[in-house]
Amino acid sequence: MRPKQALFEDLLPDSFSFGAKRIVVSFWAGLSSLFLYYAGTTVVFLGLVSAVFFVLPLFCAGYSWGKSGYKVACGVFIGILVLIEPWAACLPLGLMSAGYCLLMLTFRCKKVEGMLYYFPIGRCFSVVMALVIILLLAGETQFFDPLREGANTLKEPVLESLRQIIPTESSVQLDQAEKIVAWLFEYLWGVCLSLWMGVLFMNASLAVSILNKRQECLRPSLQVLSMNLPQWTGVLTLFMAAGMLLEPDSRFIKNAFVILSFGYMVQGLGVIHTLVKSYCQPGGKKIKNILGFFYVCVVLFPWILGGVACLGFLDQGIKLKQRIKYKWM
């Protein structure tokens, strides 16, 4: 069912046909993403914010105009970026590919007795996670040698800065700092790819939320925090955990475990949200206060996320969210 009025259609002349309006709005979405992308690489504070939301216009085009609108928007974004900076388009191209994969999966549905049933968001997340792990595996091959060399060249200035900050007399502190930096760079790709997935799903959810408020969306809310990952992700996580014990020097296994743990962290956050909403009155300020306090604690003590990931892993086995809802109902 086509929405009554698609995004920014009211700004275009009535003489424009439906197809022309779709092309113009999608073209605008691509230019908007390009602007946000370059703001992310040039301006310091604004860049940190805009770099997170630079795929939001692309998802808005996709969820208001369908897959063709997303294709036009991505084509404009990548096309102009390749013309301006041919070597800088690799990461955005990968993000657009994963975004298109997510868009196709979230549009998949089947009709049963007049009701539309969409592809579960947990399966969508697992497919994107599998794609990211495949990219990580490709990163361990010769194809990604320039990226690996870039990471190594980034590591040296960090170590040099530490040597200048920490006095030479404090050799113990310097050794510990160098070990921490080396440990962080061991998990660099896993953390970056996990953040990549987080940005992707945050933008998709935000786009659906914005368009639903204007009654312009082709799909209902994604509800990422209510997702349940399929069973194969649990088996693969246990396999990677065993691999870390058997092959502690394998960088691929370490980073793949980080990516899988990120999926369970999101599912664990869903358990916490379900618990808080079940305990408090719907729509009350108490829910926002408790969740706000929790996220402040996460910022101050990031290790809490490890326990949240374990909570998500338990949820897959014993269905914690369902048990919480059943108990409070």
Q: Model confidence over 190-243: pLDDT tens digits? A: 888 888 899 899 999 999 988 888 777 888 788 888 888 998 999 999 999 998
Give the structural domain span for 239: 228-329
Q: Residue 113 to residues 102, 116, 117, 163, 178: CA-CA distances in angstroms?
A: 26, 9, 10, 68, 62
Could you tell me if 73 and 33 are in contact, meaning their C-beta atoms sit under 8 angstroms apart? yes
115 SS3 class? strand
Q: Is 140 within the bounds of a domain?
A: no
Percent above pLDDT 70 for the chain: 75
From the list 84, 60, 82, the residue with the least C-alpha distance to 73 is: 60
Is residue 168 assigned to a domain? Answer: no
| Rounded Cα distance, 309 and 104, in Å | 27
* Within a domain: 55: no
pLDDT surpasses 90 at 114: no
Q: How many distinct structural domains can be found in the chain?
A: 1
Handedness of CA 321, 327, 328, 329 (dihedral sign): positive
Distance between CA 269 and CA 291 in Å, rounded?
10
Q: Whole-prediction pTM value?
A: 0.81
Q: Report the candidate in 241, 266, 259 with the shortest Cα–Cα distance to residue 321.
A: 266
In this prediction, residue 303 has a pLDDT band, given cuts at 50, 70 and 90, of confident
pLDDT at 310: 92
Q: Is residue 166 part of a domain?
A: no
Cα 105 from Cα 115, distance rounded (Å): 18
